Amino acid sequence: MKIIHFVNENKKNPFNPQYSYFMAEDTIHLTERDLFIKYLLDKEKEILKKYPPDLDGHTNLGSDSLTSRFIHYNLLDFTETAFLKEYIRDAHDRFLKVLKLEPEKNYYVQCWFNVMRKGEQIQKHQHARSNSYYLSGHICVNVEKTNTYYESPYYKEPFASLNELGKVTLFPSWLTHWTDKVENDFERITIAFDIKTEEAYNTQIVPELKNHWVKI
């Protein structure tokens, strides 16, 4: 597991922010990836047909996108993708242990997937701006020569994370990020997720949305 540390070491005056936070990158092995990709593309058609568009999370992918349905389902609820719970929990716990933090017993995850085609791009966005959120992440399923960029305050250049097959990235939910434009004729598929602590789930998720979160 690779840890990326963002820290403001050159604070010039008392009005510059003081910050120190971490990201993590890891790799998992997706077995029978071709079958998994086919399943996700079939599931995309099903979700687009079943659910109306909602907000696209400020990604600018629009109302025709799969991303605009993310609020209506949780990928971890499907039998074929329930195995992702173990991957997410394992990456999370190892991340915390590297930082010498003790994982809690339970966390709750909302999980969805994005399919992008030639000419499409995820624009700058955040998954949350409140302290009720915790960590977010994504898993690269079908990617080709693209990057995801993370914008840190007062850094001259964003941090570019190369999208590689099986790469898992964990980052603070408030961190602004975006992707390259898809230039080739293929489906760029990534799985995205938000993690909440049990306390945040119990106190800050409205009852009608609690079933969108899965305990890991």
Task: List, for residues 2-55, the tens digit of each pLDDT value.
Answer: 999 988 777 778 887 778 889 999 999 888 899 999 999 999 999 999 988 877
CA distance 64 to 48: 8
Q: Specify if 71 maps to a domain.
A: yes
Q: Specify if 5 maps to a domain.
A: no
Look at residue 56 and tell me whether its pLDDT is greater than 70.
Answer: no
Q: How many domains does the chain have?
A: 1
Q: Specify if 74 maps to a domain.
A: yes
Q: Specify if 16 maps to a domain.
A: no
Q: Specify if 197 maps to a domain.
A: yes
**How do residues 64-118 score in pLDDT, each as one tens digit?**
788 888 888 999 999 999 999 999 999 999 999 999 999 999 999 999 999 999 9
* pLDDT of res. 17: 75
* Residue pointed to by tokens 């305990």: 215
CA distance 150 to 179: 9
Q: Specify if 15 maps to a domain.
A: no
**How do residues 105-135 score in pLDDT, each as one tens digit?**
999 999 999 999 999 888 888 888 776 679 9
Strand partners of residue 112 = 192
Q: Give whole-number Cα distances, 32 to 35, 45, 80, 166, in Å.
A: 6, 21, 12, 12
CA distance 187 to 179: 14
CATH of the domain at 135: 2.60.120.620
3-state helix vs strand vs coil in the chain, percent to 5: 25, 30, 45
Q: Specify if 126 maps to a domain.
A: yes
Q: What range defines the domain where residue 26 resides?
A: 22-215
Q: Specify if 1 maps to a domain.
A: no
What residue spans of the chain are helical by DSSP H? 33-50, 84-98, 198-204
